[in-house]
Structure 1
């Protein structure tokens, strides 16, 4: 049986290129079973004449479909729908619940789900339409015009000019470093994984903030180590709790944020930072300072690395939060001996990072466009943060710490409402929330949740008010216990 030219959906006035339209239509028709294996497609001449396009356009489309395994060409006979079952299988994700670490990464999976949750006030990223891509596309075109080869391995330690540029940026925060002390990574998480490989062994104790970033605990468990929580307040880690954790558990590493911490948006005072560093030094415990939100810190707040140097300190950052979640570029800074070891780990586990991506980042950082872009993002966040917090306060939420930058706010729910209950009800209506149990193991964690003001449009509030009312009306027996 031959597929008719009339079976092709095609819009000559559409915005998509003709070839792309043909490929998309054929891919969907094969995938949903409308076109069966063995059916013959129109000849190139027939389809070109029927649709009013060039033969080159149809030839290009057929070649792309053949490369994708959807059709096969038989010399002297024509083009046919492939008999491969792969061509008719929809691309699905595996069942997340089958993973032994499903609970640890549940929120991360939800944040990355672009279809189930139209509203994401619990997201840890900026909305895609805030980031834009005009500057990125311009830099990509500029990169493509360069004579440098794109087919070779780059420097194992990373793009030399980008490392030098990052050194200039660190100086703004009072952090002194040499390009040789900087190692480029595939992301901040990639860098953290390498640090864990270098310093942590199964059974070791690793300190984390409470409340703190949930992915830290997942990564610690992944390496067979044990996370130990250190309570944190508006000034930073609580010294008495840190001292007790050091004495009782003998940890080898402490993972912490010093600026715009996730989830509270708080920083660390100078007095508190000095006390933390002193306690860690007494016990010879390494500190990893995660500063991936540095560009949103318009006040150039205090960093641990500006006070202590890198004898037992590692600083990590990222360039992904302000540009694109899909551009994975991070870096580590530490003493030369540890950077040499981490470079070998990088070489063994992944060879090198993408020189093309790092070159792209270098062009963005040095072209003037990046600075303007970040300033615009910070202004937009400043414009929405206080109105959103005021709206939550009008609904009975408590704001114990008002962030001066970034996009994280840690809110206390009104009355006896459970964050877990509210989040479950919200998820059923396509609203992603981030309940406190992901960030804290303290008894009161279920009374808190993390909010991202950039993801709180006006259309969210009527649904949220209704969900809060449902939670308040629920009998106590139906409310989850923390």
Structure 2
């Protein structure tokens, strides 16, 4: 039935499972075919019965075989390959907030994706993750219960220590709440602060998923315009000093540094003034600082200036360890953290202790800080290359940060970037549609470029020809 090689470095169990899988995929073993009994297979191929049992059980677990009591093992009627085979047809995407939330993540196999919001695999700390997984396997992890409500204490302590050292945020581990990514942290903060009809300030342009979340809670969004040097302070002051009571904000959700999509950063003076206004006009600040590890200058944050008085601070390991692990964190005053912990438990119980232990192993790896330094240097080099090529094609850059993940750019000959995005999608190129990021959802000619996915000659050939 199969040609097995006992001297091969590939274990016999793997040879059997892959061999039978190949025969099923090639239709040499058709659905419904009965396989030789375990003892017959073992005798024919001169292997142990235990080897065949393990191989057959793996194939059953993978859905390729079924085990019928007192009858034997049979090829499943519907193969997993037939079930999982993706359609070759690429349907034209509908470019709206729903598309951004779902399609951009479903279609990770786009040939080119300069519009995505994550880093390529080879930019991540893969070696550290592998070492962390091996260590995880030796730690005697309990699989019978849920994690702690606030998340793994050891990771919370490490986060508090690192933030005190790197970001000058003084907080104890009981002020750190681990979340299912920064997205859950944003949702918890929003649900605790916002009631239907409340005015909420957001960066404009800003984070589409956040805007959609806030609108789903009944919030009235008012955009605070970003500038290449931070906030439009005149607009914000005018808004806050309005005599119309209905315009008084309940909260401001913002990214002061390396903001998405513009990668601009607010100045220290602007952040001091923003904190004064928050106290004067009695609103909370929710600081989404998920790109902090990419900041070579370690600029102060709102949380470090305020020490969590009026600031809820959010971070994540999605951009530097793995988005798949979905481990984020939130810091706030202890009273607020206790309330948010209850919200977390109500919506999804605890977060994954397995993922949190793995992340803890990764960020306590001796090479973690070296990885972050290397990542910042690589981003800086790539920023310069991509910025130069965009400008050579006539694009205007919003700013040139030389750090972080993004460049916000537009071409003077393009009135609405939707036309370019739609044309690119037909060629398998995922561009970052500017309209998704603006508060009023109006057409715009801006585009967001992820520099790590923009250093590809095929993209530049298409842009030059468009």
TM-score range relative to shorter protein: 0.7 to 0.9
The match for 1:267 is 265
Shift of 1:128: 1.0
**1:434-463: CA deviation from partner (whole Å, max 9, x where unpaired):** 021011246986221111111123422453
Change (3 A) 1:52 1:199: farther
The match for 2:406 is 408
The yes-or-no answer on 1:128 pairing with 2:121 is: yes
2:186 to 185, 192, 215: 192
The yes-or-no answer on 1:220 pairing with 2:214 is: yes
The match for 2:154 is 161
Change (3 A) 1:142 1:438: same
**1:4-31: CA deviation from partner (whole Å, max 9, x where unpaired):** x37x9x8999987654565467568768
**1:185-208: CA deviation from partner (whole Å, max 9, x where unpaired):** 111001111112211123323221
**1:282-337: CA deviation from partner (whole Å, max 9, x where unpaired):** 22111100000111011011311122232322000001210112111111111111
2:7 & 2:113 partners in 1: Cα distance?
A: 35
1:301 to 299, 302, 324: 299
Q: TM-score, normalised by structure 1?
A: 0.85
Q: SS at the partner of 2:312?
A: strand
Retained in 1: the 8 A contact 2:64–2:79? no
The yes-or-no answer on 1:182 pairing with 2:176 is: yes
Retained in 1: the 8 A contact 2:287–2:313? yes
Shift of 1:84: 7.4
Change (3 A) 1:74 1:315: closer
1:302 & 1:351 partners in 2: Cα distance?
A: 33
The yes-or-no answer on 1:393 pairing with 2:391 is: yes
Change (3 A) 1:23 1:109: farther
Retained in 2: the 8 A contact 1:422–1:467? no
**Mean Cα deviation higher: 328-337 or 10-19:** 10-19
Alignment of 1:317-466 (within 5 A): 317-416=315-414, 418-441=416-439, 446-466=444-464
1:140 & 1:173 partners in 2: Cα distance?
A: 28
Change (3 A) 1:49 1:243: farther
Alignment of 1:145-160 (within 5 A): 145-147=138-140, 149-160=142-153
Q: SS at the partner of 1:252?
A: strand
1:45 & 1:275 partners in 2: Cα distance?
A: 78
Q: SS at the partner of 1:465?
A: helix
Shift of 1:160: 1.9
Change (3 A) 1:332 1:396: same
Retained in 2: the 8 A contact 1:111–1:120? no
Change (3 A) 1:27 1:167: same
The match for 2:283 is 285
1:445 & 1:409 partners in 2: Cα distance?
A: 19
Change (3 A) 1:444 1:403: farther
Change (3 A) 1:444 1:272: farther
Structure 1 unaligned spans of 5+: 469-482
Structure 2 unaligned spans of 5+: none
Shift of 1:350: 2.1
Alignment of 1:33-44 (within 5 A): 36-44=30-38
Change (3 A) 1:417 1:467: farther
The yes-or-no answer on 1:142 pairing with 2:135 is: yes
Change (3 A) 1:363 1:90: closer
1:170 to 160, 163, 169: 163
**1:400-443: CA deviation from partner (whole Å, max 9, x where unpaired):** 31114211111122423531111111111111100210112469
Retained in 2: the 8 A contact 1:395–1:414? no
Retained in 2: the 8 A contact 1:259–1:302? no
Retained in 2: the 8 A contact 1:291–1:316? yes
The yes-or-no answer on 1:118 pairing with 2:111 is: yes
**Mean Cα deviation higher: 365-374 or 145-154:** 145-154
Shift of 1:37: 4.5
